[in-house]
Chain A
Amino acid sequence: MKVQKFLEVKEGDTLATLRSFLQRLLEKEIVEALLVPLEAPSGDTVMPALVKEPAHLEKANPLAPVMPVNAARLVSSLTIGKPREKIGALLRSCEIRALIELVKLQQAHLENLMIIGIDCLGTYEVTDYAKLISEDRSPTMELVRGAKEGALSPHEGYQFRSACRICEYPIPQNAALTIGLLGVDGKMILIEAQEELAERLELIEGEAASREEAIKKLVEARIEERDRLFAQFRERVVDIPGLLAQFSTCIRCHNCTVACPICYCKECLFRTSTFEHESGRYLRWAQRKGAIQMPTDTLLFQLTRLNHMVTSCVGCGMCESACPSDIPLTTIFRAVGQEVQAMFDYLPGRSLEDELPLATFKEDELTELGGR
């Protein structure tokens, strides 16, 4: 049975308390290695690191509102060869959901892995986070203070990443251990775990009476913003000019593919020589249409990626953060995904039990297709 216990925040320092809690996980050998964001030596970002030595956790900062990479990709690297040691991976909701998809796609394993989930307070773009640090702000603590009320406003003059602004899942699911801040009094940190595990962690009793209310308030605001963006998208993209406008700035750099936690093909069609044509072919196409866009096949790339990924897209928005051309990929994938996923009652990352829509079928469905 899962129980809710608490950590007492020492000297008002939430981060220090969390760091010592993470050290405890290693010291008590609950896990033998920990994948967790560490503050980079430059101090202006965090990067996930695989930590064996507890002392390194002095620099751990799982609360930092920045996400240079969706760590599900890293868990895939760590577990695809089935690790012999127990690894703990501290992940946000979108990272856990991406990981669930990767497991179903046979690109990651859960054996010898402990998923440690943490409430996500939202993330800034990497460059914005670095700027806030250079201005001597403390973006982490600003958000931690608002967590109790579920009032997570970005620093004045800044915005969260668009994926975070419309994210309905600030709370991690499918974790063995959950670290909760939303709706929890600042003097405490909520720890949710199986009773047996919780006992080993030396936690105290307490209650998070306003947690549900705080989560509800936050999620409602996010859904409102999401629906606003979806409505805008539907208005904009109604015809061919609307379609072309969405992707007109794509240079087919494939950054979105690289940043996407789920786009896993080792040899992507679009990164092979298939699209390196001989000059005569470009000229023939240009002759036929009068003109062709160079680089070619950008829209083909985008629409194909949409088809391949949209059923499993967890909406982490790493694609958009990686896009040098500011294509609103989060909105596109989320808006298209909402409808496609609903066709099969599928929510990416919800459960290992739900089969991938493209890996299964029902005999008596979609009968309007194929007949005359």
Chain B
Amino acid sequence: MNEDFEPKIVAFLCNWCAYMGADLAGTSRIQYPPNVRIIRMMCSGAVDPVYVIKPLLDGADGVLIGGCHPGDCHYQEGNYKARRRVAILKNILRKMGFDEERVWLRWISASEGQVFAETVTEMVEALKEKGPNPLRELWGT
């Protein structure tokens, strides 16, 4: 593992649960690594695959998609649909020779500031283990 390597993570968090969880982590002063760039979405179900693929091709080391726990979606079923989309996306990435484990889907509720902080910590560790996204240095994308 390269100790100097600091992975870059792009996170798409739903407005109602995961983003609120991240907010709570902040207001509660829970420490977590600063490697994550958060983009607020209205729903995890609104995360089109293109949003996930774009940062990966541009060299982001990981993409995190955060949504409400199953059954808790503000729009009833957006997170279930997100789950199918992510399952398909990961399958396609694997089939196309890209490391699908750089894409994480996590359910984080508005009260789970701790879970958000732990998720980011775990993800940073896992990505440090993997090393940089090879596409960061490649021009042919």
Contact = CB atoms under 8 A, between A and B. Distances in A.
Interface of A: 237-240, 242-244, 246, 248, 269, 285, 288-293, 298-300, 303-304, 306-308, 310-311, 335-336, 339-340, 343-344, 357-358, 361-363, 365-366, 369-372
A246 B96 contact: yes
Nearest to B59: A289
Question: Number of contact residues on B: which range applies?
Answer: 35 or more
Contacts, number: 118
Given A304-B49, A361-B81, A370-B106, A311 B88 contact: yes
B84 A366 contact: yes
B120 to A, nearest CB: 12
Given A304-B53, A343-B88, A361-B81, A371 B107 contact: yes
A372 B119 contact: yes
B32 interface: no
Nearest to B84: A361
B41 to A, nearest CB: 16
A293 B141 contact: yes
Contact of B139 (A242, A293, A306, A340): A293
Contacts of B81: 358, 361
Contacts of B50: 269, 300, 304, 307
A244 B95 contact: no
B139 A336 contact: no
A361 B91 contact: no
A203 to B, nearest CB: 46
Interface string B90-108: 0110011110000001110
12 contacts: A240-B97, A240-B134, A304-B48, A304-B50, A307-B49, A307-B53, A311-B88, A336-B96, A358-B85, A361-B77, A361-B84, A366-B83
B57 interface: yes
B67 A370 contact: yes
B136 A289 contact: yes
Contact of B141 (A242, A299, A307): A299
